[in-house]
Amino acid sequence: MLLRTAQNPAPIVISGREFVWGARTYVMGIVNVTPDSFSGDGLGSDADAAVRQALQMREDGADIIDVGGESTRPGFAEVPAEEEMRRVLPVIEGLARELDIPVSVDTYKAEVAVRALDAGAAMVNDVHGFRREPAIVKVAADAGVPAVAMHMQRGRDFRDTIGDISTGLLESLRIAREQGLPEEQIIVDPGFNFGWTEEQALEMLRRLGELRALGRPILVGTSRKSVIGKVLGDLPVDERLEGTAATVALSIANGADIVRVHDVKEMARVARMTDAVVRGWSPERKL
């Protein structure tokens, strides 16, 4: 049984694995190879630690590992492509040897994407939705890999939460077409907490199902975000597990196909339980 069968996009094959949208929720584990991650989990340049972390995430239920070498926290300092590659390439190379699940590179730089794909990455995850460097989509198209387009609201005028996201993602889809990447190879991300007030971020989750109209798989990343801390009484990052679990469950109930998380073991269980309610469950059916 598939959720909302008529609306499910066609499956995407990533690194030889078929991702069937609607069958279950997929879990993307976050590996930050940065010294300044907002979530406090940045591993700096310790490639061995990053590989160990990713392998544990795979054991805990991750379906994809997303490796990033530049922080996207508010007020972050951009790093040159050379430094970003120095951080991520050893990790991606190590994971490509050790993992049997796809590795994604979290970057908006075309140069970094080229080298990461050469090193073994199988997907590109662009927080700027291809707007900063449209050539990154051609990189994905030439390599025959899918790409995630996130809507970045920072620096943009606000009109309507879902309207603004839809407009931004439609622009990303247009850029992708121009650069030769088929729409069938694109996953969209509404950009939870990237330039939104707390009220707007929560509205985004309530109205997430409206983005199904785009006809693309939806990735949502609420893990440990500041709005969770704010709502729960200014909790620090390391006390946002339960709040993250609530937002992950609601994201799935409202149409998310992939959840991007730091705490893979716990959120994989949340996803499995939510899937049992949303998509149906029986003792014979494994989610």
Question: Residue 71 has what pLDDT?
Answer: 80
Verify whether residue 260 is a known catalytic residue: yes
The answer as to whether 285 is a domain residue is no
In a domain, 54, yes or no: yes
CA distances for 130 relative to 113, 168, 182, 186, 207, angstroms: 12, 10, 14, 11, 24
What does the H/E/C string look like for the chain? CCCCHHHCCCCEEECCEEECECCECEEEEEEECCCCCCCCCCCCCCHHHHHHHHHHHHHHCCCEEEEECCCCCCCCCCCCHHHHHHHHHHHHHHHHHHCCCCEEEECCCHHHHHHHHHHCCCEEEECCCCCCCCHHHHHHHHHCCCEEEECCCCCCCCCCHHHHHHHHHHHHHHHHHHHCCCHHHEEEECCCCCCCCHHHHHHHHHCHHHHHHHCCCEEECCCCCHHHHHHCCCCCHHHCHHHHHHHHHHHHHCCCCEEEECCHHHHHHHHHHHHHHHCCCCCCCCC
The residues facing 220 across adjacent strands are 259
Residue in this structure with the two tokens 């994971």, named with its chain if needed: 95
Q: How many CA atoms lie within 13 A of 123 on its CB side?
A: 28
Contact assessment for residue 68 and residue 95, using Cβ atoms and an 8 Å cutoff: no
pLDDT in tens, the chain (287 residues): 344 444 799 999 999 999 999 999 999 999 999 875 444 454 556 788 889 999 999 999 999 999 999 987 666 678 999 999 999 999 999 999 999 999 999 999 999 999 999 999 999 999 999 999 999 999 999 999 999 999 999 888 889 999 999 999 999 999 999 999 999 999 999 999 888 999 999 999 999 999 999 999 999 999 999 999 999 999 999 999 999 999 999 999 999 999 999 999 999 999 999 999 999 988 876 65
pLDDT in tens, 93-141: 999 999 999 999 999 999 999 999 999 999 999 999 999 999 999 999 9
237 in a domain, yes or no?
A: yes
- The closest of 168, 250, 169 to 209, measured between CA atoms, is 250
The token pair at 58 is 């795979």
CA-wise closest residue to 96 among 107, 86, 88: 88
Q: How far is CA 131 from CA 85, 174, 213, in A?
A: 20, 10, 22
Residue 5 located in a structural domain: no
CATH code at position 112: 3.20.20.20
Question: Is 16 part of a structural domain of the chain?
Answer: no
Q: What is the pLDDT of residue 2?
A: 43
- Is residue 87 assigned to a domain? yes
Catalytic, out of 260, 269, 272, 285: 260
- Residue 138, domain member (yes or no): yes
**Beta strands 186-189; 147-150: pairing state:** parallel
Domain contains 224? yes
Tokens encoding 251:
């994201």
Please give the tally of structural domains in the chain: 1
Question: Position 90: which residue type?
Answer: P
In angstroms, how far is the first alpha carbon of the chain from the final one?
11
Q: Residue 232 sits in which domain range?
A: 23-278
C-alpha to C-alpha distance for 58 and 128, rounded to whole angstroms: 27
Among the listed residues 58, 225, 240, 279, the single catalytic one is 225
Question: Is 225 annotated in the active site?
Answer: yes
| Residues linked to residue 106 through DSSP beta bridges, in sequence order | 68, 125
